[in-house]
């Protein structure tokens, strides 16, 4: 499958470009970016074409991988889907469930494949654990703490304008929600509260009746940083694995899912995650429980 890359930032360099180049069943076709000079530089590192016009890239590939902020990704993803391209998307797909849902429906109606790159969800040890836990059932509660900092020295993501603006809810929140939904089921209601240090606390009521408690931040003091996830239920207390980050392995597994048409973490699933985050933002600003809209 010929795949073109949109984006030239740190995430494109750390995960997308090397992941595309390493996969044996993918032809890394070229790069388009909002900064043509950076696009040319990244393309030259991998010996692929540079595209000055994004529509020219669409015309030359079968699929598009996107490493751009969600507000930029959404419109370009829809254009690519309308052009008949499979999509490898970053999280969150968009900043509203309505926009994300339109992308998902466009893909579905055209018989196109998609995958949303929830990073560690594509590492085999974590994926296997969640599959087994979901099959076992009997879970009544989950707790996820995803609190760290992106503003330490040398962290490239601290310079990301969209992360600074949207904070941990939209940056690491998708990962947390994508951990609990496969085990506890879709989210029906959200209650959220914000605190200093970009801290967002969520209470999610799932359609199964289970409740998950999630703490999110990308700006906590380093000594308070933690990444932990636990399930509670009839089987007892079970820690969700937090495997070491292996970008080539995870990216390759995600590409395998795209090639196979696996819908486990496709744009429709990404839309359900965006709906939870959107409801959380509404709850935090309005001080009330918000029902998650079905898109």
Per-residue pLDDT of 189-234, as tens digits, reads 999 999 988 999 999 999 999 999 999 999 999 899 999 999 999 9
Radius of gyration of the chain (CA): 19
Calculate the alpha carbon distances from 108 to 68, 74, 82, 83, 281 in Å.
Answer: 22, 16, 11, 13, 28
pLDDT band at 149 (very low <50, low <70, confident <90, very high): very high
On the 0-12 / 13-18 / 19+ scale of CB atoms within 10 A, 143 is middle
pLDDT-derived band at 273 (thresholds 50, 70, 90) equals very high
Say what angle helices 124-136 and 247-260 make with each other, to 10 degrees. 60
Q: Residue 153 has what pLDDT?
A: 84
| pLDDT, mean of residues 90-112 | 97
pLDDT score recorded for residue 270: 98
Confidence at residue 245, expressed as pLDDT on a 0 to 100 scale: 83
pLDDT value of residue 31: 98
SS3 assignment for 54-77? HHHHHHHCCEEEECCCHHHHHHHH
What is the model's pLDDT at position 294?
64
pLDDT score, position 293: 80
Is the pLDDT at 286 greater than 90? The verdict is yes
- Statement: the pTM of the whole predicted model exceeds 0.85: yes
Q: What is the mean pLDDT of the chain?
A: 96
Q: State yes or no: pLDDT of 145 exceeds 70.
A: yes
Q: What is the DSSP string of 205-256?
A: EETTS-EEEEEEESB--GGG-EEEEEEEETTEEEEPP-PPP-HHHHHHHHHH
pLDDT of residue 128 exceeding 70, the answer is: yes
- CATH of the domain spanning 2-119: 3.40.50.720
154's tokens: 């040398």
Average pLDDT over residues 120-137: 96
- CA–CA separation, 40 and 48 (whole Å): 9
Distance CA 19, CA 158 (A): 23
Six-digit token string for 63: 């699929």
Contact at 8 Å (CB) between 192 and 167?
A: no
- Residues spanned by CATH 3.40.50.720 within the chain? 2-119
CA distance 77 to 165: 22
Phi-psi region of 189 (alpha: psi -120 to 50; beta: other; left: phi over 0): beta
Residue 80 has pLDDT above 90, yes or no: yes
> Is 115 or 196 the better-scoring residue by pLDDT?
115
CATH for the 123-242+266-291 domain, from 3.30.360.10, 3.40.50.970, 3.20.20.70, 3.40.50.2020: 3.30.360.10
* Range in 47-56, 200-209, 286-295 with the lowest mean pLDDT: 286-295
* Contact (Cβ atoms closer than 8 angstroms) between residue 64 and residue 79: no
Q: So what's the pLDDT on residue 50?
A: 98
Q: How confident is the model at residue 113 (pLDDT cuts 50, 70, 90)?
A: very high
Q: With bands split at pLDDT 50, 70 and 90, how would you rate the model's confidence at 295? A: low
How far, in Å, are 4, 84, 113, 236 from residue 176 at the CA level?
29, 31, 24, 21
- Report, as an integer, the average pLDDT of 178-197: 96
């Amino acid at each position: 499958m010929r795949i073109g890359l949109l984006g030239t930032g740190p995430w494109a360099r750390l995960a997308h470009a090397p992941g595309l180049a390493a996969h044996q069943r993918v032809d890394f076709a070229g790069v388009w970016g909002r900064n043509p000079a950076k696009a040319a530089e990244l393309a030259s590192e991998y010996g692929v074409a540079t595209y000055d016009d994004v529509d020219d890239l669409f015309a030359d590939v079968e699929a598009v991988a996107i490493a751009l902020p969600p507000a930029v990704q959404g419109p370009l993803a829809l254009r690519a889907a309308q052009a008949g391209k499979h999509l490898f998307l970053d999280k969150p797909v968009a900043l509203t469930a309505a926009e994300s849902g339109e992308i998902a429906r466009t893909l579905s109606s055209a018989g196109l494949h998609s995958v949303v790159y929830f990073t560690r969800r594509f590492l085999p040890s974590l994926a296997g654990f969640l599959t087994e836990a979901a099959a076992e059932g009997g879970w009544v509660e989950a707790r996820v703490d995803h609190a760290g900092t992106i503003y330490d020295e040398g962290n490239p993501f601290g310079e990301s304008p969209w992360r600074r603006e949207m904070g941990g809810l939209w940056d690491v929140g998708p990962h947390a929600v994508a951990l609990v939904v496969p085990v506890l089921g879709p989210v029906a209601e959200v209650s959220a509260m914000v605190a200093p240090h970009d801290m967002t606390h969520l209470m999610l009521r799932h359609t199964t009746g289970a409740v998950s408690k999630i703490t999110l931040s990308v700006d906590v003091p380093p000594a308070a940083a933690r990444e932990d996830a636990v399930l509670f239920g009839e089987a007892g207390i079970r820690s969700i694995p937090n495997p070491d980050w292996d970008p080539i392995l995870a990216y390759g597994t995600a590409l395998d899912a795209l090639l196979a048409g696996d819908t486990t973490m496709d744009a429709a699933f990404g839309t359900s995650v965006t709906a939870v985050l959107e409801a959380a933002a509404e709850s935090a600003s309005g001080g009330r429980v918000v029902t998650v809209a079905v898109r």
